[in-house]
Amino acid sequence: MRKQIAAANWKMNLTYQQGEKLLDDILKAKHQLKDHQQVIFAVPFPYLIMANSVVANEKNFSVAAQNCYHKKSGAYTGEVAAEMLHSIGIRYCVIGHSERREYFSESNQDLADKLNLLLENGITPIFCCGEPLAIREAGTQNSYVEVQLKESLFHLGAEQVKGIIIAYEPIWAIGTGKTASSAQAQEMHAHLRKVLADQYGDAVANEVSILYGGSVKAANAAEIFGQPDVDGGLVGGASLLAEEFSTIIASLK
Ligand code: PEP
């Protein structure tokens, strides 16, 4: 079975102490993850080492950075390189979140460069894609998201693509309380898998975990994750609440 993943995106929330407590509260629930299930906490940079040590002895719990820079190293004050993440034992990194694309003008080419750097450093990218409301209303979401994949991913070989996690996050559903219906999520996930299959073949496409993100919460996680091409979720707001996120973890297939 493909990896089923509950990924928490804390964004720029919580103090260090609040973050420690949240992790502690979630781990107290003693989730018994199956071999194909994974929980990932994407925490702010200053909390990465702490979070990594808190989950170190927990089966299938990991930590992700929320971003990295698209250059290897050098005079880029304030930025964090993939190699730095590797050097502190980080194994996952979210890239291309719509907030980064919008507020920090990240292009598909920047993301292609980030993917290369992460893979060179043995870090699994969690690559976000998704359309804004106007595109959804125009009905052109499939081709919009397809271009995001093509321009950022398609220079990679099949083996590399197998090592990527994709998160489909319709922008109109992020932080809005407006979730895509499970049918809308399934339709897009199936489309993304077909785009991967056309380029890399069915075997590769069937190995890539595709997460849904956009107002996932305890009350809707099981239905969304139950769709055949949805392999878990990338969760913002609800990941800041221990009980909510614990239920989301328990909703993984
Ligand atoms: C996100 O930040 O990736 C996200 C999906 O946020 P929310 O769950 O709050 O919509």
**Span 151-206, pLDDT tens digits:** 999 999 999 999 999 999 999 988 887 888 999 999 999 999 999 999 999 999 99
Choose the catalytic residue: 99, 106, 131, 169: 169
Please state the rounded mean pLDDT for residues 11-32. 97
Of 144, 88, 153, residue with least CA distance to 115: 153
Q: Is the pLDDT of residue 65 over 90?
A: yes
Question: Which pLDDT belongs to residue 176?
Answer: 84
Confidence of residue 74 (pLDDT cuts 50, 70, 90): very high
CA of 201 to the centre of ligand 1 (A): 30
For residue range 221-236, what is the model confidence (pLDDT) as tens digits? 999 999 999 999 999 9
- Give the single-character DSSP code of 124: E
Query: pTM value?
Result: 0.97
Q: What whole-number distance in Å separates Cα of residue 134 and Cα of residue 196? A: 25
Residue 58 is among the residues annotated as catalytic for this protein? no
CA dihedral sign of residues 39, 35, 189, 110: positive
Which of these, 124, 225, 123, lies nearest to 166 by C-alpha position? 124
Q: Of residues 97, 99, 131, 189, which has the active-site annotation?
A: 97
Residue 44 has a pLDDT of 98
77-84 mean pLDDT: 98
Model confidence at 20: pLDDT above 90? yes
- State residue 201's pLDDT score: 97
Angle made by CA atoms 123, 233, 103, in degrees to the nearest 5: 70
What is the topology classification, in CATH, of domain 4-250? Answer: TIM Barrel (3.20.20)
Strands of 66-225 (E only): list them: 92-95, 124-129, 165-168, 210-213
What residue's CA is closest to ligand 1, atom 3? Answer: 236
Find how far residue 103's CA is from the centre of its chain: 18
Task: Determine contact, residues 187/176, Cβ cutoff 8 Å.
Answer: no
Asked whether 115 and 156 are in contact (CB, 8 A), the reply is: yes
Distance 75 CA to ligand 1 centre (A): 32
Using alpha carbons, select from 87, 83, 32 the residue that is nearest to residue 61: 32
Mean pLDDT of 99-107: 96
Q: Which residue has the higher pLDDT, 51 or 178?
A: 51
Percent of the residues in the chain that have a pLDDT greater than 90, as a whole number: 96
Counting from 1 in the atom list of ligand 1, the atom nearest the Cα of 167 is 3
189 classed as catalytic: no
| Cβ neighbours of residue 43 closer than 8 Å, sequence gap 6 or more | 10, 19, 51, 63, 64, 66
3-state secondary structure at position 14? coil
Contact (Cβ atoms closer than 8 angstroms) between residue 81 and residue 117: yes
What is residue 179's predicted lDDT score, i.e. its pLDDT?
82
CB neighbours of residue 52 within 10 Å:
18
Ligand 1, from 224, 235, 244: best to mutate by most atoms within 8 Å of Cβ? 235
CA distance 182 to 180: 6
Average pLDDT, the chain: 97
| pLDDT score for 180 | 85
Residue 87 corresponds to which tokens in the numbers above?
């050097």
**Beta-strand (E) ranges in the chain?**
4-9, 37-42, 61-65, 92-95, 124-129, 165-168, 210-213, 232-235
Residue nearest to atom 4 of ligand 1 (CA): 236
Cα 236 to ligand 1 centre (Å):
3
